Structure 1
Amino acid sequence: MGKITVRNIRVYAYHGCLNEERLIGSDYLVTVEVFSNLEKASASDNLNDTIDYVLINSIVKQEMKISSNLLEHVAKRIINRVFNEVKAAEKTVVAVSKINPPIRGDVEMVTVTLKEKRP
């Protein structure tokens, strides 16, 4: 079993329960880990035998464009897309972080992490 990680994809998006968050938007970081058998790819040196991280990046950017109230909902949509489009994915972990969330206090970011095995 191996793992491909696409770490800290930077996106500006419009998520949140407050109207201001959905109008103004904010910065986000998304990390996706995809677990798969990478043995064939390690021997073949062929992109078709591994997880295409360009596709993972594209999925994240597309899903982050869809406004949601909760980061949990966004993370779940990303996981669903990974399982639908990456047949070799056996397990996926998605972390969505809102940088400088609009809460009282000095908070760098809030992160929601979901982890699922292929159904």
Structure 2
Amino acid sequence: MGQIKLENIRVFANHGCLTEETKIGSDYRVDLEVEADLEPSAKSDNLKDTVDYVFLNRVVREEMAKPSYLLETVAKNIINRIFKEDTMVTQTTVWVSKINPPIGGDVEMVTIKMSEDRKI
């Protein structure tokens, strides 16, 4: 087994429960970690034998572009899509952070973390 991590994917998106959040949008940070058997690709040196991190980045960006009220929904959509489109992934963890959230205080970011193992 091995892990592939994408860290600090920066996106602008329109998530939130407040009307202003969905209209004006805000900055987000997404971190992603997937587990897969990386031995075949280590031996073959062939992209088809591993999880393509270009694919992972694309999934994050496309799912972040779909407005949701909750970050939990966005994270779950990212996880579901990765499992659906890449059978090599056995476990996924995603962190979705809203930068400078409008919560009435000096808070750098709010982060939710979700993890899931592939259901057999």
> TM-score, normalised to structure 1's length?
0.98
Tell me which amino acid in the other structure corresponds to 1:114. Answer: M
Tell me which amino acid in the other structure corresponds to 2:80. Answer: N
Q: CA deviation at 1:15?
A: 0.2
SS of the equivalent of 1:55 reads helix
SS of the equivalent of 1:69 reads coil
- List gaps (5 residues or longer) in structure 1: none
Q: CA deviation at 1:8?
A: 1.1
The 5 A counterparts of 1:2-21 are 2-21=2-21
CA distance in 2 between partners of 1:10 and 1:86 (Å)? 23
Tell me which amino acid in the other structure corresponds to 1:63. Answer: E
Structure 1: which 4+ aligned runs deviate by more than 3 Å?
Answer: none
The 5 A counterparts of 1:1-119 are 1-119=1-119
Aligned residue pairs total 119
RMSD: 0.5
Percent identity of the aligned residues? 58
CA distance in 2 between partners of 1:86 and 1:97 (Å)? 24
Q: CA deviation at 1:114?
A: 0.3
CA distance in 2 between partners of 1:105 and 1:115 (Å)? 28
CA distance in 1 between partners of 2:51 and 2:32 (Å)? 12
CA distance in 1 between partners of 2:30 and 2:87 (Å)? 21
